[in-house]
Amino acid sequence: DGGITQSPKYLFRKEGQNVTLSCEQNLNHDAMYWYRQDPGQGLRLIYYSQIVNDFQKGDIAEGYSVSREKKESFPLTVTSAQKNPTAFYLCASSINANSYNEQFFGPGTRLTVL
Amino acid sequence: AQKVTQAQTEISVVEKEDVTLDCVYETRDTTYYLFWYKQPPSGELVFLIRRNSFDEQNEISGRYSWNFQKSTSSFNFTITASQVVDSAVYFCALSERVRTDKLIFGTGTRLQVFP
């Protein structure tokens, strides 16, 4: 089945630790995105990548880092510099970064900082 | 500035009632795209519809219908004869042609359908 997988589903982290969230897609999509969702809020863009080996900051990139070494994979690292990392993280992809393309979403990772 | 407003935070209805979810947007671009996504309790967003700014025809898909009115900058979503499975958070989103890097989401409307 084609789709987007995110792992783990739930993640607990101690303060001061970096943690990496996985996102893999087998849809052969060029563009990939990371969003953060907080209760009662819409999705906010953290980082996006239009093509392999390229990525740009979104609205709330501080405290996060990404890489795009393979077309299928777009991991997100939440660093200790992120002041309030507890949130629901959603990965998405689209055929390309053209504005008319719908984005396909993964099931999300819920990160809790203890 | 681009903005999407979903003023209804939460709506509760009883099964078989019709319900309309409101979406108002702001943009300076003449070419843009509007989307609706559904987020069930599982968390994954599901694409429902895309509409471009030059197509104001209403669309119907089964029990779902969408009313796009440029004059009021609205793109409302109606569910007819609601069912319990419709319970979810629904997001309206805007994408501009000149800004291909961003999908602007509203804050979402949580719909609860009771049996």
Question: Residue A83, class by beta-carbon neighbours within 10 Å (0-12 exposed, 13-18 middle, 19+ buried)?
Answer: exposed
Chain A residues with CB-CB distance to B103 below 8 A? 33, 43, 45, 103
Chain B residues with CB-CB distance to A107 below 8 A? 42-44
pLDDT for A39 equals 86
How far apart are alpha carbons B27 and B18 in whole angstroms?
29
pLDDT for B39 equals 96
The DSSP code for B9 is: -
Cβ–Cβ below 8 Å for B47 and A102: yes
pLDDT for A97 equals 77
Mean of all residue pLDDT scores within chain B: 92
Q: How many helices (H) and strands (E) does chain A have?
A: 0, 11
State the nearest Cα–Cα gap between A31 and chain B, in angstroms: 10
Mean pLDDT score, B18-26: 97
CB A60 within 8 A of CB A46: yes
Mean pLDDT score, B10-15: 97
pLDDT for A1 equals 63
Residue B98 has pLDDT above 70, yes or no: no
Q: B16: helix, coil or strand?
A: coil
A43 touches chain B (CB under 8 A): yes
Mean pLDDT score, B75-95: 96
How far apart are alpha carbons A40 and A107 in whole angstroms?
18
How far apart are alpha carbons A56 and A64 in whole angstroms?
12
Residues with Cβ within 8 Å of residue A25, at least 6 apart in sequence: A3, A4, A5, A32, A72, A74, A91, A93, A104, A106
Mean pLDDT score, B25-32: 91
pLDDT for A83 equals 87
Cβ–Cβ below 8 Å for A100 and B96: no
B8 touches chain A (CB under 8 A): no
Tokens describing residue B79: 């569910």
- Residue (of B26, B3, B17) closest to B73 by Cα position: B26
Mean pLDDT score, B58-85: 94
Mean pLDDT by 10-residue block, N- to C-terminus, for chain A (114 residues)? 88 91 96 93 92 93 96 96 92 86 93 92
Mean pLDDT score, B74-94: 97
